[in-house]
Amino acid sequence: MNMQPLLNESIQQITGQLQNWRRDFHHFAESGWFEFRTATIVADELHRLGYSLKMGKEVIKAEARMGLPSVQALQEQEQRAIKQGALVQWLPHFSGGFTGIVATLDTGKAGPTLAFRVDMDALDLDEDQSHVHRPYTEDFSSCNAKMMHACGHDGHTAIGLGLARILKQYEDQLTGKIKLIFQPAEEGTRGAKSMVEAGVVDDVDFFIAIHIGLGIPMGELVCGNGSFLATTKIDVIYRGVASHAGGKPEEGKNALLAAAQAALGLNAMPRHSKGISRINVGVLQAGSGRNVIPDHALMKVETRGETNEINEFIYDKALSIIEGAATMQDVEYEIQLMGAAQSSKPSPAWVDFIYQQVQQHVPELSSVVKSGEQAMGSEDATYFMERVKANGGQASYLVFGTELSAGHHHGQFDFNEDVLAIAVKTLATLTIHLPDFNTQFNQ
């Protein structure tokens, strides 16, 4: 039976709802580990649809979270979420920053487990509030200071909910299990590792993470995005001894100088000959007055590598430089891990299958390519991908092209919302036709 005409009609029926979800999440933007309102709305919709839910500490390993805000900040943001319409019956699952959800549709029929990951968090960024910016003129720009969906995660969450509706509608035609993973704190690569260590993809045979935009034109799909760079993100805190710079300079221990020397040393380190390597000092904060020897300095650093091994090489060198600068100035130092991601390449057979199915069944995508250019950024969906592949499964990362009003992480970021329905149709099509994978690739 050709289900595509029925699927087209079903997608058309939820197009308005996809936009409504996206704009609601955009207006009430919540950054990483603060997705309290978003998570309650997602959980309520999935529960209403009849999905089996695991939430909060069931799907997030507490000690594996990275870049976690303070307890006070988490409490304040939870109260803010309540005032902005969070569904309080669901909040106990997410309190304390455990804002992850895994929804499972078990068809009761033999078959593999397929998982999709969408992310929910906004950026720590103020949104443009001018008449050149559509979210402002159409009254859905962010109402939360220093929180903005400037990377499309509001759209990703809407796609996940739309997919949930469609899959439930076609449940009788599906086999195996489908997992929908709603991940917090992707920005800064902080959230995926904690979900992987909680075991949420240990039973997964096929895995897809998605993104919209990324410079891909509207109507184009990249089935297997090029390898992401492995990364490690750290905060370095130097602690010295304050003293009067004129009266008692010999009693001081200068944390600012330690950080400055480390910053210069980090940027001067040799790169790696076997692939792309990066290091950046993005923030350096120190000092209180011109006549005071600084006793405290904060430095925010990231390393990246084309492979996990290259990133580890750069990171190990960075640790030596950071320690050496502390020794030079006789200060103490502390390193806090704030985020991390791995390098990962998509599974070739899975990419081939996606390519074939989309070419055959999704005419809305006028251009389908198997792999994009080498990524210069990082993505913590790579933790999911690598765990699935390590267990013998197949994984890929899909990018749906769309027109953008400004680049990602920009205060005027916006996208063509037509991409939402295209993405839902593509993912639903892959789910419906998944039984064909074994036929095509003899696995």
Residues 6+ apart with CB under 8 A from 1: none
* C-beta of residue 405 within 8 angstroms of C-beta of residue 415: yes
Q: What is the secondary structure of 344-378 as a DSSP string? A: B---HHHHHHHHHHHHHH-TT-SEEEEE-SPPSS-
> Hey, which bits of 32-160 come out as E strands?
52-55, 101-106, 113-119
| CA-closest candidate to residue 193, choices 33, 43, 339, 335 | 339
223 annotated as a binding-site residue = no
Q: Which value, to the nearest 10 degrees, does the dihedral of the CA atoms of residues 400, 102, 104, 200 take?
A: 100
Q: Is 187 annotated as a binding-site member?
A: yes
CA angle 417/419/421 to nearest 5° reads 95
Q: How far apart are CA 291 and CA 305, in angstroms?
A: 41
Specify whether the CB–CB gap between 119 and 55 falls below 8 A: no
For tokens 């994978």, what's the residue?
437
151 is in an annotated binding site: yes
C-alpha dihedral (352, 358, 361, 364), degrees to nearest 10: -160
Residue 281 · residue 258 · CB < 8 Å:
no
The answer to the question of whether 410 is labelled as a binding residue is: no
Pairing of strands 206-212, 113-119: parallel
Please give the Cα distance from 150 to 212 (Å, whole number). Answer: 11
Q: Is 122 helix (H, G, I), strand (E, B) or coil?
A: strand
Residues 183, 156 contacting (CB under 8 angstroms): no
**Which residues, at least 6 apart from 79, have a Cβ–Cβ distance to it below 8 Å?**
none
**According to the annotation, is 27 in a ligand binding site?**
no
- Please report where in the chains the tokens 């078990």 appear, as a residue: 106
User: Residue 179 belongs to what H/E stretch?
Assistant: strand 177-183
Annotated binding site for Mn(2+): 151, 153, 187, 211, 409
Query: Which residues are part of a known binding site?
Result: 151, 153, 187, 211, 409
